[in-house]
A and B are shown apart, each in its own frame.
Chain A
Amino acid sequence: DAGVIQSPRHEVTEMGQEVTLRCKPISGHDYLFWYRQTMMRGLELLIYFNNNVPIDDSGMPEDRFSAKMPNASFSTLKIQPSEPRDSAVYFCASSLRGHPTDTQYFGPGTRLTVL
């Protein structure tokens, strides 16, 4: 398997623009997670899905952020409108089931810069 695939790897945009980050989880994995990593706040869980259904979105910072998972092989994280403070590395991860011993496999991340 190719692992978790994220695109784009780098995104530079201007404040106010819409940004869409994409993720393809490992085939057969039931859980998908979106994380954000910044120097100030470290690694934060934004939202996670089980079988395409959002389970916990308490980490989503504001209404400007939205995430969808239309099918088992694709998820998006959208920021509209984007702000400079959204600049971060966004990781997608997936795991087979929800059991604590199931490894969360991380993608390479999308580095977002909002000017």
Chain B
Amino acid sequence: GEDVEQSLFLSVREGDSSVINCTYTDSSSTYLYWYKQEPGAGLQLLTYIFSNMDMKQDQRLTVLLNKKDKHLSLRIADTQTGDSAIYFCAARRSSNTGKLIFGQGTTLQVKP
């Protein structure tokens, strides 16, 4: 079955860029997502990318997709302390109407 892997922890200084990486195994995954979870809260969708795209930009967020290597990354420009949270990568097949497979989550720590 599908497996989604992420590094567990990333620490950056305020104002720097953060890059969170994710790899997935199922080449049939056609939709890939980034979610953010703040302490004590549920997950919030940040952005998603279709597998026929290489890059998507949304304000401070840039998603890069390398289909050949099955590698997804989320870049946060000018990282702020409010960006401190857990970031989840998730994958989904187009044929599947609901099931998302989540990575373990990357804890982003932003130091002032």
B43-73: which residues lie under 8 A (CB-CB) from chain A? 43-45, 48
Contact with A along B72-99 (1 / 0, CB 8 A): 0000000000000000100010100111
Query: By the criterion CB–CB under 8 Å, are B45 and A50 in contact?
Result: no
How many chain B residues sit at the interface, stated as a range, is 20 to 34
Tell me the total A-B contact number using a CB cutoff of 8 A: 53
Q: In whole angstroms, what is the CA distance A109 to B101 when docked?
A: 18
On whether A43 and B45 interact (CB within 8 A), knowing A50-B97, A100-B30, the answer reads: no
Which residues from chain B sit less than 8 Å from chain A, CB to CB? Answer: 30-31, 40-45, 48, 88, 92, 94, 97-105
| Other contacts beyond A33-B98, A48-B98, A107-B42: 8, CB < 8 A | A31-B97, A45-B98, A48-B99, A55-B97, A91-B42, A100-B94, A103-B45, A104-B100
